[in-house]
Chain A
């Protein structure tokens, strides 16, 4: 049980990081489907830097930087050139997969030391629950704090209110003098940094190795997670842990004696997301869903 919870926490952290970043971008009205590409670029940049410097901290910085760079490319085309956001995001996902494979080719087969837990094993209390709670690495706690921080920002600050207004009605927001493109660009870059960190977590902690396509669809799951959580940052935390548990059930299903084929267990997060999407849309409970999600905006007037 303890092993299951620990592996769930480690699996949930990259999902939580990437989804939190995407949530901020989507609340500003921008749908960036390129999370998978940004994560892969973050993963390869982080791995390369950590391998050459030996510092995980620098690796995470590089991962976030690569994510920001990739997101800037998206922002240039989707916001600057007002291109179709879904198509631009897809271009980023495809491009990131290719470039990361090309850069990472020489790093395949190298190994690094994974990020150590904040508290060394000897300093942990004997209570198993406390051991799990206190025994994780820094990024686990950072991801949780980030999600709470985003919740506070969106719901309790003036700047967060403006960002939501831009996501719901960019034309009106522009008319009252808000900087629509500036805010959206900032939100997209924040999303890129988070996706880069998520990728870095995969290559520096989760595996810790570099392999082509190592995100294995987690970027797309993060997108699903934002919808599943109804665009709420705190619900993203629950969603990420739930999705992680569901994806691990593939491996633990046999142990628990379940006779359901693992593929059907692996389907549950996607089916649950579709269900959540239908329920959220049908109930009209779109209170958090940005009204202008995916619609381009150009200040013509």
Chain B
């Protein structure tokens, strides 16, 4: 039996993500043992190897950058009660827009402006893709979850067409990819000898700015109010339609920026499998980070562990690439269940006199 607490438990609100991570590791241990794989070795590779040396640690940050950018945007979106699950599509559009600018820049253009232009284009691309579900919801009442999800597939197919058709690398020997971006469009490295790039700074700035907006401005108050009590927010003069549009533009824009950052920093060209599941993993980041943009920064590191651990397990244990999803899925399951205990307590028997 679940019984509503008089007030939400502040202790559990902070402990819940930690409990969920511990339960995920325990359940992973049991699952690998049940499947007849060495559980100690597997857990070691999944959860410890990403911290083993400087290179792995820098790769951890590289993977965390797009997750943090998308996740902190989604955090404010979910705060408002707007369930944008189309982040993968917004990310893809961001990459397409950034790639479009990079590939079509005139040869003699001032190179110093090219990268900022690419990133801005990516932000705009993601915003446009996030705007569509907002418009359709506000005009027609169409479901944001379903529209944003459908647009994800449209975006993936659009990218597929571009890299195989009009934007295909003329020297690519038929491989589905564009030419490598010109040097001016490439994100500079932050640390020599690693792939760590300036996107890290962007992700931190974005999270700080969003946290300030969410907790220190009137608009942020409106967002939080709409998520907690939509009717009260409406009576308070906050337009529901405007808030929905705002959070979808911001989260879409940040997902687009993440796509642009990945395209210009780590991939340096466009290819069909650019998304790497960041869009869905970022949803876990937002929840694990307590729907707080700063929390999302930390949560992005936790999710990055599953990515690097998964890659290492693929090489060392010959496990399939998708095995990392086992941990991501379990983490979200446990987290959602634990979060319920913030508001409810478990009671093993019915209290007499209460139906």
Q: Interface on A for B, CB 8 Å cutoff?
A: 31, 33, 37, 73, 76-78, 80-84, 86-88, 90-105, 212-213, 217, 220, 223-224, 227, 261, 263-264, 266-267, 270-271, 273-274, 277-279, 281-282, 293-294, 298, 300
Contact = CB atoms under 8 A, between A and B. Distances in A.
Contacts, number: 160
B321 A77 contact: no
Contacts of A224: 146, 149-150
B142 interface: yes
Contacts of A99: 31, 326, 329
Between A88, A93, A274, the greatest number of chain B beta carbons within 10 A of the residue's beta carbon is seen for A274
Interface residues of B, number: 49
B15 interface: no
Nearest to B343: A82
A91 B151 contact: no
A98 B322 contact: yes
B315 interface: no
Given A83-B339, A101-B325, A278-B142, A223 B149 contact: yes
A273 B325 contact: no
Contacts of B330: 91, 95
Nearest to A284: B141
Contact of B150 (A84, A101, A270, A294): A270
B329 A94 contact: yes
28 contacts: A73-B333, A76-B337, A77-B337, A81-B340, A84-B336, A87-B287, A88-B336, A90-B85, A92-B333, A93-B329, A94-B280, A94-B284, A94-B325, A95-B329, A95-B330, A99-B329, A101-B320, A212-B322, A220-B153, A224-B149, A261-B161, A263-B164, A264-B157, A267-B157, A277-B143, A277-B146, A279-B140, A298-B344
B141 A83 contact: no
Contacts of A103: 35
Nearest to A265: B157
A81 B326 contact: no
B181 interface: no
A98 B145 contact: no
Closest 5 CB pairs of A and B: A95-B329, A98-B325, A98-B326, A101-B322, A83-B336
